[in-house]
Amino acid sequence: MADPLKRRDEEMAALEEVFRYAERYLGALAESPVLPGGATHLGTSLPEGGNGAVAALTELIASAGAATRSSGPRFFHFVTGGTTPAALGADWLTSLLDQNSFSWVSSPLGSELEDVAIRWLLELFDLPESWGGVLTTGATMANFVGLGAGRRWWAQEHGVDVDEQGFAGLPAVPVLSTPYIHASALKALTMLGIGRGSVQIAEADELARNLEALGGAPAIMIGNAGEVNAGYFDPISPLADLAEEHGAWLHVDGAFGLFARLAPETFELSAGVERARSVIADGHKWLNVPYDCGFAFVRDRSALPKTFGLAAAYLPDDERPNYGYSSPEASRRARALAVWATLRAYGRAGYREMVERHLALAQRLGRRVEAEAQLELLAPVGLNIVCFRFRPPGFDEPALDLLNSALGEDVLADGRVFVGTTRYDNKVAFRPAIVNWRTTERDVDLLVDVVLELGARRAAAVD
Ligand SMILES: Cc1ncc(COP(=O)(O)O)c(C=O)c1O
């Protein structure tokens, strides 16, 4: 019996299965190994006869134990937020209501909440309330939105509507940034037809020279508010000065760094962001809403419908802005429910407190690293990322790189804490990022203990 209509009596029972599992899962999340392993039994070929919702969910839940505990407090890899109780509940509700946040006709609720969410987020980040914005799947697509608006502006400076006519007859788009540029901005440039190879990378204080070399031609400049190795910021105010002086479009990637604006002690790092033309951040990082969620903000709110508008006889022509006409997607999940709920539940003060706790945890981690003879802090801790390596005596630089790479794999396989490695200052290094609302001092201390324990074992094995 396969037709869902014939199995509709299972609806509540299926949800109850998930609810019961949630109780077990969340109850154990704080102490679970990040990589529990465990077998999955999900089959290899498409079943001809279905087994119904309850049985299917029971099977799925039996394999869900294998899920990475990436929403738990010890997942320091990448920049990975958890999900607050309010956001998780709202996300479940989002699936229940299954709204298409494409337009006011398809979802007045989703559209209104997105209006409110964008307004609240602008306020949270202390950005001008006159700006527009849109929710996206993440920072990559938010970069795509901001840079798409920039591309439109750039072509208009050449007298061309690029969204209407394409690039034919236009020169290459000059894009300037610093070594902090994130791979996702390059990806966005690729998707926009600008090409990742078009970016001129220079240190921030050398960008003036690059702009002057353009002889007044319009350009796009990408400022980076929070890079992934050590949480560093480009000096955004001087970049804004340059953009104003040379008439460039300044786009700022603040995927997680924009949250520096929530804490008085780090606000200054992002000073000048409010002078950019487009600014982006992620929701599934420091806001702690579930995957997937990001935001793009633009100074000129009319830029979004001009870039991402669409029209057809059967589609609504609404006075109020339809978000499906301001974003890369047309049909869209109502991400605003989770954003709204978490901001409603914890408010500006709750988020400030969480960010300040994370800043303090990063400082604590930095101090512990400095206090341990076998660890080396590689960069001052300015935000929420701590860049360090294991450095026992008797290893030269190439050997230290090999040791830290192998140790990185050991740490991931061990799974008590989860932290990735990078290359920083030409050295293999750990770069734990703290953005999960559940993370406490115990979790951060465990990270150091695990690295030291496994490091000693690995160093002994190599010796
Ligand atoms: C600075 C920065 N920009 C953009 C991104 C891409 O974000 P997403 O994976 O949400 O698309 C990241 C992800 O870590 C990031 O750190």
- Residue 356 DSSP code: H
One-letter amino acid of 5: L
To 10 degrees, the CA torsion angle through 398, 404, 405, 407?
Answer: 140
Residue 255 Cβ contacting ligand 1 at under 6 Å: yes
Class of the domain covering 347-462: alpha beta
Ligand 1 pocket member 382 (CB < 6 A): no
In this predicted structure, what is the pLDDT of residue 462? 83
CB atoms within 10 A of CB 393: 7
Consecutive 10-residue averages of pLDDT for the chain (463 residues): 88 97 96 86 86 94 92 98 98 98 98 98 98 98 98 98 96 97 98 96 96 96 98 98 97 98 98 98 98 98 95 92 96 98 98 98 98 98 98 98 98 96 98 98 98 98 83
pLDDT in the model for residue 65: 84
Instruction: Kindly report the protein residue whose alpha carbon is nearest to atom 2 of ligand 1.
Output: 255
- Contact criterion met (CB below 8 Å) for 168 and 323: no
Give the count of alpha carbons within 13 A of 451, CB side only. 32
**Res 407: pLDDT:** 98
Ligand 1 center–CA 57 separation, angstroms: 32
The closest alpha carbon to 231, from 376, 78, 383, 75, belongs to: 383
**CA of residue 43 to ligand 1 center, whole Å:** 33
Instruction: Give the integer Cα–Cα distance in Å for 226 and 233.
Output: 5
Distance 15 CA to ligand 1 centre (A): 32
In testing the pocket of ligand 1, which one of 77, 229, 282, 292 has its CB within 8 Å of the most ligand atoms?
Answer: 282
How is domain 89-343 classified at the architecture level of CATH? 3-Layer(aba) Sandwich (3.40)
Burial readout 257-286 (b: 16 or more C-beta within 10 A, e: otherwise):
bbbbbbbeebeebbbbbbbbbbbbbbbbbb
- Give the pLDDT confidence score for residue 1 in this predicted structure: 59
Q: Is the CB of 78 within 6 Å of ligand 1?
A: yes
86 lines ligand 1 (CB under 6 A): no
The verdict on the CB of residue 177 being under 6 Å from ligand 1 is no
For a mutational test of ligand 1's pocket, the pick from 184, 229, 270, 434, i.e. the residue with the most ligand atoms closer than 8 A to its C-beta, is 184
CA of 41 to the centre of ligand 1 (A): 32
Q: Is the CB of 234 under 6 A from ligand 1?
A: no
